[in-house]
Amino acid sequence: MMKRVSRRSLSSLKSLREGNLNFINGQRIDGSGSSFDVFEPRTGDLLCKIKSTSKKELDNALSIAKSAQLEWMQTSALERADVLHQAALLLEKYREEIAYVETVDNGKPILESRIDIQSAIDALKYCGGTSIALLAGETQSGNGWKGSSYRVPVGVCAGIGAWNYPIQVAAFKSAPALACGNAVIYKPSEFCPLSAVLLGEVFAEAGLPSGLYQVIQGQGELGRAISEHSAVDKISFTGSVPTGQAILRASAEHVRPVTLELGGKSPLVVFDDFDEDIAVQGILQANFYSQGQVCSNGTRVFLHENVYQTIKTKLIDAVDQIKVEDPLEDQTRFGALVSKQHLEKVQGFISRAISEGGKIVSSSRNIETDLGGYYMRPVVMECHDHMEMTKAEHFGPICQIYKFKTEEEVLRRANDSNLGLAAGVFTNDFHRVDRFIENFEAGTLYVNCYNLAPAELGFGGFKQSGIGKENGVEYVNQFTKLKTCFYPKEQSRKLRLKKSHENEAVQRTTLFLCPRRRSTDWRENSYTSIKTTNRPTTCSSRSSGSSRINWKYQFCSWH
């Protein structure tokens, strides 16, 4: 019988700081592995200490997940959708509490944390509703046969999350899996471990049986153990290209399906027929939302030569007006980067770009907060095609601008990347829009807008930006396996050969292997040999005067 845990409220931030951040079988517990520190991006202070999940604890969590999943898959899609819908209502109820924890955990403005929770709500509702129709399957029929295809759960799904959208990514990976009858083992980023635990408590209060959503904490070693574990039936990962490649290699050993949402180095092309002020707002959205820590960001901004100077000037003015402030304040639109290590990485990209000929054209005035923490000002840089930052993902608040002359030139330069997550074009010429949609080598395209990712449509990339999609029907499909069953129509169960015209044909014998039904078992030697004769060597002719023999597959009935 599936165990359900009743909860009345979420854990407080104070409680989360104290540890017990694994969520196993409906309960918060500590790991027994080595410990590591997590720091608050907003202040730079110690947020909490975490004990990693050991190999034995991982084995136990997977065993619990499998037992729970076998019962969960027997429930109806409608019942599972009801649980997800209730979880969505609870996320709405606890939006402010979770947003506060998310901002402390990640450093992004609290306004963005509230928006991320809405994305999680949308994912739960969409996947619950979509799965009801998706799992119904389809039926087809042909000459003498009928068949049906239907989808079944994959089993135990592992999610490995990113630190830039903690609650959103946890929901994106768990919602379709749970809706389709799977269990979920989720490892959040070691930099942002808290909100995934709160999601587990929300699921428990919504009525999700214990063991179906479990959170395990750890660093890279735990991710490697998950990737190599034979009890994991599917992995969904969001993160860097090298880590995604490692997961793909490990999964190949088990011939296991994966969904990989990896990095991007996306182009945003602005033509001279587009409104300059709207273009500047779009460039800001494509580069500085979440302090630039967005995989799809349009960091390579190509400006047509006719508007290069004017848009550059307006862009610099707009960027210089951005205030870097306390992310817990409602008015803040630009907060802290996620960690000291990441701040140093982004600043290293800037230093190397300058040495390669890049030029910072925005101001470097002081940051408006004295909280400490991991803050930097947004940067606009003039760049060229032959520098490290043009090819590599910096994942920070750096907008790179380039000048171009012709459409053909900019398409070639825009596609000159090993990554293909997203691409955007700003233009009022809709014939040009069609050409860019057709020729952009990217999986997610934006026309006169940027960085939308609604639950209803697929999001994902080409090339080394990943495998599969997140969101949309395609994503829900990826958490199922397709079964197809064929069987004969009633009138086709007798074995016969229909001959429509006399014709000399080579006699052939076809062996049909038909298992003989026993009362209690199947035996290896219980087969019946059935012979057919006069099977034609040819069965069609275009001329009406030529001979023609029609035959069709026949079905043998059980003995």
Write down the catalytic residue from 201, 261, 325, 407: 261
CA 236 to chain centre: 7
Say which residues have a Cβ less than 8 Å from residue 205's Cβ, sequence separation at least 6. 6, 7, 8, 90
Strand 300-304 vs strand 267-270: parallel, antiparallel, or unpaired?
A: parallel
Task: Provide the strand spans (E) within 461-522.
Answer: 462-463, 466-467, 480-488, 514-515
Three-class DSSP category at 185: strand
Q: According to DSSP H, which parts of 94-161 are helical?
A: 95-106, 110-134
Q: How far is CA 209 from CA 5, 73, 177, 421, 456, in A?
A: 7, 12, 14, 36, 27
The distance between the two most distant Cα atoms of the chain, rounded to a whole number of Å, is 97
DSSP string, 197-244: HHHHHHHHHHTPPTTSEEE----HHHHHHHHH-TT--EEEEES-HHHH
Cα angle 22, 26, 31 (rounded to 5 degrees) comes to 20
How many of the other CB atoms lie within 10 Å of CB of 458? 15
CA-CA distance, 166 to 297, in Å (whole number)?
A: 18
Strand 422-426 vs strand 514-515: parallel, antiparallel, or unpaired?
A: unpaired
Q: Which residues pair with 312 in a beta bridge?
A: none
Q: Which residues pair with 148 in a beta bridge?
A: 139, 485
Determine what percent of the chain falls in helix, strand and coil, rounding each to the nearest 5. Answer: 35, 20, 45
Residue in 284, 29, 79, 310 with CA at minimum distance from that of residue 180: 79
Q: How far is CA 22 from CA 113, 231, 388, in A?
A: 22, 19, 39
Does 261 qualify as catalytic in the annotation?
yes
Three-class DSSP category at 276: helix
Structure tokens at 250: 């490990």
Mind telling me the catalytic residues? 261
